[in-house]
């Protein structure tokens, strides 16, 4: 019941295009649960978790490349593809913009020698890369996060886990 409420509120918070993409992806995903009742886990390498986790504000700065360090370690944010429902949910919740809205931002940053986060094609690829790369930060469905990675933050109301 609580999850359903969070799902509804999460969907309401999403911008129209993001909500549409999420629902469309659900509709196309054969055999997947299609309510927006999933939880997103922000992950880092299992032996590199910062004490106290990461706040949404910190994540926002990391994914805009405004924060380059966690402690003394260089941080490397990783994204899923722009049309991935999890990416759209994460972008909306953490950066308060859709990936398309951030296009101008990254154009400006590129002119000043700053590249956007790298992109990996799948959640499994994300887990493997983050697990083996010190300083890497990524996100996957909470149900997929295993002992290879440490969960440093969670977001509720995202796309359902398709495990």
Partner 1 sequence: MPALALWSALMLACACSAAELPAEAAPPDPAALHYEFGRGLRLGESGFTLGGYVTGEYRRSDEGPEQLKSSHASVFVWWEGWERVKLFAEIDLLNAVGQAQDESYNEYGKPPDRRRVSLERLYGDYIFSDAISLRLGKFLTPVGRWNQVHAAPLVWTTSAPMVTETLFPRSVTGASLGGNLPLWGRAVGYSVYASDGKEWRRDQQEDPFAKVLGGRLVLPLGYDLQLGLSAANYQLWSRHGEPQQLRGVDLYWSRGGLEFSAEWMRTRGTAVAGAEIVPDPEDHGGVAPGDSYGRGARRATRGGYAQGVAPLGGKLFAVARIDWLHDPRTITFVRQHLVGLAWRPNAGTTLKLEYVRPSQVSAQTTQGVVASVSVLF
Residues that bind partner 1 (CB under 8 A): 15, 55, 57-58, 61, 64, 66-69, 74, 78-79, 81-82, 95-97, 101, 103-104, 106-108, 110-113, 115-116, 118-121, 129
Closest CA to 77 of 102, 6, 8, 1: 102
Q: Is 65:58 a contact under the CB 8 Å cutoff?
A: no
Specify the residue, 26 or 106, whose C-beta has the smaller distance to partner 1.
106
Q: Which is nearer to partner 1, 46 or 125 (CB)?
A: 125
CB of 109 to partner 1, least distance (A): 9
Residues with Cβ within 8 Å of residue 119, at least 6 apart in sequence = 78, 79, 80, 81, 82
- Provide, rounded to whole angstroms, the least separation between the CB of residue 66 and partner 1: 4
Nearer to partner 1, 3 or 67 (CB): 67
Whole-angstrom CA distances from 73 to 42, 49, 76, 155 are 17, 11, 10, 24
For partner 1, give the closer residue by CB, 98 or 141.
Answer: 98
In the complex, least distance from residue 61 CB atom to partner 1, rounded to whole angstroms:
5
**Pairing state of beta strands 118-119 and 76-79?**
parallel
Q: How far is the CB of 72 from partner 1 (least distance, A)?
A: 9
């Amino acid at each position: 019941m609580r999850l359903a409420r969070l799902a509804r509120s999460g969907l309401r918070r999403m911008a129209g295009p993001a909500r549409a993409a999420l629902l469309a992806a659900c509709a196309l995903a054969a055999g997947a649960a299609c309510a927006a009742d999933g939880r997103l886990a922000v992950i880092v390498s299992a032996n590199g978790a910062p004490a106290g986790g990461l706040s949404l504000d910190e994540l926002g700065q990391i994914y805009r490349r405004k924060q380059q360090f966690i402690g003394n370690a260089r941080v490397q944010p990783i994204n899923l593809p722009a049309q991935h429902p999890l990416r759209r949910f994460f972008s909306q919740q953490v950066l308060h913009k859709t990936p398309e809205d951030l296009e101008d931002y990254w154009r400006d940053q590129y002119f000043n020698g700053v590249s956007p986060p790298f992109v990996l094609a799948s959640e499994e690829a994300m887990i493997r890369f983050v697990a083996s790369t010190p300083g890497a930060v990524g996100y996957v469905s909470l149900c997929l996060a295993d002992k290879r990675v440490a969960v440093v933050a969670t977001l509720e109301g995202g796309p359902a886990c398709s495990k």
